[in-house]
Amino acid sequence: MFQSLSALPADPILRLVAEYQADTNPRKIDLGIGIYKDENGDTPVMTAVKKAEQRILDTQASKKYVGPTGSPAYNAAVAELLFGAELNASLNGRRVTVQAPGGCGGLRLAAEFLKLANTDATVWVSDPTWANHVPLMTTAGLKIAKYPYYDYTTHSVRFDEMLSCLKQVPKGDVVLLHGCCHNPCGADLTLAQWEAVRDVALAQGFTVLIDLAYQGLGDGLEEDMAGTRLLAASLPELVVVSSCSKNFGLYRERTGAMTLISESAAQTATATTLIAASARAMYSMPPDHGAEVVQLILNDPALRSEWDAELTAMRDRINGLRAKLVAQTRTAGIDRDFSFIQNEKGMFSFLGVNVEQVQTLVRDYSIYLVDSSRINVAGINDANVAYLADSLAAVIKG
């Protein structure tokens, strides 16, 4: 029966990983997949993570199953990291956090749950959004629609258009927002804009789903949560999917969570049985290692401050690279203004060049980036920033 199958094109982001690896050009630059890189282009295991792993190696007495909702210690630590102690306590039994296999696993789990809650739900995603949001939602049977988000000309959020669109979204639909460090554009909502979105959500009654994959990589662990916390404090319902891939560097360990806030503790208790059943039906239970690392770090003051310092250094480096790239585009004689890159947050920004120019950068300069011109800023370093800007100048001048 397999004769009828036809091949699919490779994932637009993952494809670049293999192409970059196969390239023998010593000047090649990887600005593709969103992983943090240091000045040498490496993605080392964080020191706090190494120490927690050593502790697990020394003390773990059993590898018996953890259960479909994962480790209670991890779930509690994640909830407190997301919401802060006070808000988290005030959410009481209305909140449940369920460990998931990475951010993708959390999003898929959320999609299954949302489909159970409303089989006709449409998920409204930002235009543009992370490419994998669409298959993660539609594979669960949800429909997709787009709301306007990024203006490629002004390099800012098309907020008035976004809000007018959200004012048409009915109760029973889901609006997917990026909690911070928007992927792919790096343009985030201001607090006043989050407030306006909150007001529309209250008026319309739609459900908000927040994808939060970059906490701590924008302005700070607390600062990056302003919008999410505002919504958690004031909406009757909220779903938050969080990932520890980037801020703990745990990519391959698949460490994430789905958090649900509902109107009442009773509703949340009911919902938890459905979420657990979905997890059981898809993967039975999440992998444990990364989650154990995270809960050890978050619950140990010394490990936590070491991790915090490492994360701060990563964030500062990315923000410094944004400034360096902008300065270097001027040195390279490009008269186009790239200063918007400095104002954007997190790992990503668009270079704002067209797809032919992107393909020229890949083919002729071995600079790897997604067709949309999204770059992973962390892939830049002192040794390659001039080559990047000079190549960009050549491509723009044609």
- State the catalytic residues: 130, 211, 246
The separation between CA 319 and the C-alpha centre of its own chain, rounded to angstroms, equals 17
Q: Which two tokens stand for residue 329?
A: 């585009």
Q: What is the DSSP letter of 179?
A: S
Question: Helix, strand or coil for residue 228?
Answer: helix
Tell me how far apart the terminal alpha carbons of the chain are, to the nearest angstrom.
50
Q: Rounded distance, CA 323 to CA 338, Å?
A: 10
Residue whose CB is less far from ligand LMR, 129 or 328: 129
Non-local (6+) Cβ contacts of 94 within 8 A are: 261, 262, 263, 264, 265, 267, 268
Smallest distance from the beta carbon of 163 to ligand LMR, in angstroms?
26
Q: At its nearest, how many Å lie between ligand LMR and the CB of residue 344?
A: 15
In 3D, which of 92, 118, 136, 115 has the Cα closest to residue 243?
136
Q: Is 214 in the site for ligand LMR (CB under 6 A)?
A: no
Q: Which of 130, 150, 159, 307 binds ligand LMR (CB under 6 A)?
A: 130
Q: In whole angstroms, how far apart are CA 235 and each of 33, 53, 198?
A: 34, 38, 7
Closest approach of ligand LMR to the CB of residue 183, in Å: 5
Residue 13 interacts with ligand LMR (CB under 6 A): yes or no: yes
Question: In this complex, which beta carbon is closest to ligand LMR, that of residue 121 or of residue 185?
Answer: 185
Q: Is 349 in the site for ligand LMR (CB under 6 A)?
A: no
CA–CA separation, 296 and 294 (whole Å): 5
Please list every residue from 132 through 161 that binds ligand LMR, using CB under 6 A: 132
160-167 long-range CB contacts below 8 Å, 24 or more apart? 162/126, 163/196, 163/197, 163/200, 165/124, 166/124, 166/197, 166/200, 166/201, 166/204, 166/206, 167/200, 167/203, 167/204
Please check whether residue 373 is in contact with residue 31, taking contact to mean a CB–CB distance below 8 angstroms: no
183 binds ligand LMR (CB under 6 A): yes
Kindly state the tokens that stand for 34.
């969103």
129 binds ligand LMR (CB under 6 A): no
State both tokens at 363.
């083919």
Closer by beta carbon to ligand LMR, 95 or else 182: 182
Residue nearest to ligand LMR (CB): 34
Q: How far is the CB of 118 from ligand LMR (least distance, A)?
A: 27
Q: Does 46 bind ligand LMR (CB under 6 A)?
A: no
Sole residue written with tokens 């690896």: 21
Taking the least distance from each CB to ligand LMR, the nearer of 34 and 128 is 34
Residues forming beta bridges with residue 125, ordered by sequence position: 146
- Binding-site size for ligand LMR (CB under 6 A) equals 6
392 binds ligand LMR (CB under 6 A): no
When the beta carbons of 183 and 207 are compared against ligand LMR, the nearer one is 183
Out of 31, 33, 81, 395, which residue is the one contacting ligand LMR (CB under 6 A)? 33
Give the residue, chosen from 16, 20, 28, 34, that forms a contact with ligand LMR under the rule CB under 6 A.
34
Least CB distance from residue 69 to ligand LMR, whole Å? 24
The rounded Cα 269 to chain-centroid distance in angstroms is 27
CB of 62 to ligand LMR, least distance (A): 31
C-beta of residue 141 within 8 angstroms of C-beta of residue 122: no
> Could you say whether residue 391 binds ligand LMR (CB under 6 A)?
no
* Lookup: tokens for 227: 């919008």
Site membership for ligand LMR, residue 125 (CB under 6 A): no
Q: How far is the CB of 87 from ligand LMR (least distance, A)?
A: 27
Which residues lie near ligand LMR (CB under 6 A)?
A: 13, 33-34, 130, 132, 183
